[in-house]
Amino acid sequence: MKNRLTLLDDRSIFRAMEKKDTKAEIIAKGTEMISLYGYNATGIDMILKQVHVPKGSFYHYFNSKEDFGLAVIDRFAERYEQRLITFLNDSEVSPLNRIRNYLESGLARLTQNQCTKGCLIGNLGQELADQNERFRSRLDEIFQSWKDRFASCLREAQSVGELRQDQDPVVIAGFILSGWEGSILRAKVTKSPQPMHDFIETIFSTVLK
**Contact positions vs its own copies (CB under 8 A):** 36-38, 40-41, 116-118, 122-123, 125-127, 129-131, 136, 139-140, 143-144, 171-172, 174-175, 177-183, 185-186, 188-191, 194-195, 198-199, 201-203, 206-207
The residue among 61 and 143 lying less far from its own copies, judged by its C-beta, is: 143
Q: How far is the CB of 52 from its own copies (least distance, A)?
A: 25
Spatial contact of 139 and 125, defined as CB atoms under 8 Å apart: yes
Q: How far is the CB of 126 from its own copies (least distance, A)?
A: 4
Q: How far is the CB of 184 from its own copies (least distance, A)?
A: 8
Q: How far is the CB of 174 from its own copies (least distance, A)?
A: 5
Give the number of C-alpha atoms closer than 13 A to the C-alpha of residue 64, restricted to the C-beta side.
Answer: 3
Spatial contact of 142 and 124, defined as CB atoms under 8 Å apart: no
The residue among 12 and 131 lying less far from its own copies, judged by its C-beta, is: 131
Amino acid at the residue 206: T
CB atoms within 10 A of CB 178: 12
The span from the CA of 125 to the CA of 80, in Å, is: 16
The residue among 31 and 123 lying less far from its own copies, judged by its C-beta, is: 123
